[in-house]
């Protein structure tokens, strides 16, 4: 059972990676001759074309999404440090791309060195593009439980003491699923999960429960609150007692669209069987949200990420030493 849950997450990731790698390979083929002229390298040295193709994918994808997030900062309910980090990343990637292009016009060797030293960034861009594609595939292939016994709604940021727009859509989607199942599952439950952040006036779970009762006419007796979690993994682990047991299956976990793929992976890791349902997310918010997901995945696997970055920098240094 656990293996099948993991395969539901692994399959979109494999397809996404294959699509991004295939696109990068095609771009490499198209750029081979222009790059040879631009960087003053032999045409048969296709590695430079691959490096430039990876840089293009990373700059357009990771850099473009991060830069877009910088433009929409004023529309956010709350601007957190991670939002400023994403905006700075976009500006930095764009500045680096322009610097490499300018360097190539003056000194091709300097442009080659800059391209090599940024190798971990290009790899991160390819990985982020694969994650974005995996999120899209997961949403397209997602299945919906007809009559969930339990609907678990994951928390997000509050606006004062009320749910913010992002969280409100999750709550509304969860209430919709719960109400749809009542005809066949009159005992269906809603679980709201979310603790109190350092900049919040109350727990996210209490705000969600209040919104369900006051605005969506869900009886308080049908709601269970989990008010101690501060991360998505904790949302799932601390809600285990409410979602596993007689009459609780099947489980539908409700979160935002961009967050559904990573949540499905965490759900499989903690060993809970269920389906993740994505609530609609404002399109202008999606690019930055996907970058945030990429940063969250990197943080979850920080040692692997650091090790890979160190290995790529070592490779770049070795390649630089081989240059004439």
Section 294-318 average pLDDT: 93
Measure the CA–CA gap between 140 and 135, rounded to whole angstroms. Answer: 9
Q: DSSP class of residue 107?
A: -
Q: What is the phi/psi pair of residue 36, to 5°? A: -60, -40
Least-confidence region, from 6-20, 27-41, 268-282: 6-20
Section 125-147 average pLDDT: 87
109, 100 Cβ separation under 8 angstroms: no
211 is written with which tokens? 């919104």
Section 170-179 average pLDDT: 95
The pLDDT, as a whole number, for residue 80 is 84
| More confident site: 173 or 45 | 173
Measure the CA–CA gap between 2 and 199, rounded to whole angstroms. Answer: 37
Using a pLDDT cut of 70, give the percent of the chain over it: 96
Least-confidence region, from 28-32, 42-46, 107-111, 311-315: 42-46
The pLDDT, as a whole number, for residue 304 is 94
On the CB side of 69, how many CA atoms lie within 13 Å of its CA?
Answer: 27
The model's confidence at residue 324, banded by pLDDT at 50, 70 and 90, is: low
The pLDDT, as a whole number, for residue 263 is 95
The model's confidence at residue 159, banded by pLDDT at 50, 70 and 90, is: confident
The pLDDT, as a whole number, for residue 74 is 84
Q: What is the 3-state secondary structure (H, E, C) of 261-279?
A: HHHHHHHHHCCCCCEEEEE
Section 244-258 average pLDDT: 91
The pLDDT, as a whole number, for residue 140 is 80
Instruction: Output helix, strand, coil percentages for the chain, rounded to the nearest 5.
Output: 70, 10, 25
DSSP 232-246: HHHHHHHTHHHHSST
Contacts of 171 (CB under 8 A, 6+ apart): 153, 163, 192, 208, 211, 212, 216
Least-confidence region, from 42-46, 153-157, 316-320: 42-46
Of the candidates 40, 36, 28, 96, the one whose C-alpha atom is nearest the C-alpha of residue 324 is 40
Section 28-35 average pLDDT: 94
Q: What is the phi/psi pair of residue 154, to 5°? A: -85, 145
Tell me the whole-structure pTM to 2 decimals: 0.90
CA angle 219, 220, 223 (to 5 degrees): 105
175 is written with which tokens? 């209430």
40 is written with which tokens? 């003053």
* Coil/strand/helix, residue 158: strand
Section 100-117 average pLDDT: 92
The pLDDT, as a whole number, for residue 113 is 93
Q: Is the pLDDT of residue 20 over 70?
A: yes
Q: What is the pLDDT of residues 206-218, one digit of tens each?
A: 999 999 999 999 9
How are beta strands 158-159 and 162-163 bridged, if at all? Answer: antiparallel
Q: Is the pLDDT of residue 52 over 90?
A: yes
User: Among all chains, which residue has been given the structure tokens 């409410």?
Assistant: 242
The model's confidence at residue 120, banded by pLDDT at 50, 70 and 90, is: very high
Q: Is the pLDDT of residue 56 over 90?
A: yes
The pLDDT, as a whole number, for residue 320 is 84
The pLDDT, as a whole number, for residue 2 is 54
What does the mean pLDDT of the chain come to? 91
The residue ranges of DSSP E strands in the chain, in sequence order, are 150-154, 158-159, 162-163, 189-193, 223-226, 251-256, 275-279
Q: Is the pLDDT of residue 1 over 60?
A: no
- The number of beta carbons lying within 10 Å of the beta carbon of residue 95 is 11
Q: Report the number of secondary-structure helices (H) and strands (E) in the chain.
A: 13, 7
The model's confidence at residue 142, banded by pLDDT at 50, 70 and 90, is: low
Section 309-324 average pLDDT: 87
CA angle 99, 103, 107 (to 5 degrees): 165
The pLDDT, as a whole number, for residue 93 is 96
């Amino acid at each position: 059972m656990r293996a099948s849950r993991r395969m539901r997450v692994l399959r979109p990731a494999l397809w996404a990676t294959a699509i991004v790698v295939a696109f990068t390979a095609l771009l490499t083929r198209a750029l081979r001759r222009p790059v040879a002229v631009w960087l003053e390298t032999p045409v048969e040295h296709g590695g430079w074309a691959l490096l430039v193709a990876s840089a293009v994918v990373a700059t357009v994808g990771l850099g473009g999404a991060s830069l877009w997030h910088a433009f929409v900062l004023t529309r956010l309910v709350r601007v957190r440090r991670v939002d400023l980090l994403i905006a700075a990343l976009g500006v930095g990637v764009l500045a680096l791309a322009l610097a490499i292009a300018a360097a190539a016009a003056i000194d091709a060797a300097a442009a080659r060195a800059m391209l090599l030293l940024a190798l971990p960034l290009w790899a991160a861009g390819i990985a982020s593009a694969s994650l974005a594609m995996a999120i899209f595939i997961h949403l397209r292939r997602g299945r919906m439980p007809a009559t969930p016994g339990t609907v678990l709604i994951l928390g997000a940021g509050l606006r004062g003491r009320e749910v913010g727009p992002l969280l409100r859509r999750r709550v509304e989607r969860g209430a919709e699923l719960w109400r749809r199942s009542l005809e066949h599952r009159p005992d269906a439950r809603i679980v709201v999960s979310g603790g109190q952040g350092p900049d919040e006036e109350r727990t996210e779970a209490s705000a969600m429960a209040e919104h369900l009762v006051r605005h969506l006419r869900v009886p308080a007796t049908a709601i269970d609150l989990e008010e101690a979690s501060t991360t998505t993994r904790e949302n799932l682990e601390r809600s285990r007692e409410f979602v596993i047991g007689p009459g609780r299956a099947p489980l539908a976990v409700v979160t935002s669209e961009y967050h559904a793929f990573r949540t499905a992976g965490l759900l499989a890791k903690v060993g809970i069987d269920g389906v993740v349902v994505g609530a609609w997310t404002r399109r202008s918010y999606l690019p930055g949200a996907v970058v945030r997901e990429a940063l969250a995945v990197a943080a979850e696997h920080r040692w692997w990420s650091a090790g890979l970055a160190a290995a790529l920098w070592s490779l770049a240094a070795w390649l630089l030493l081989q240059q004439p």
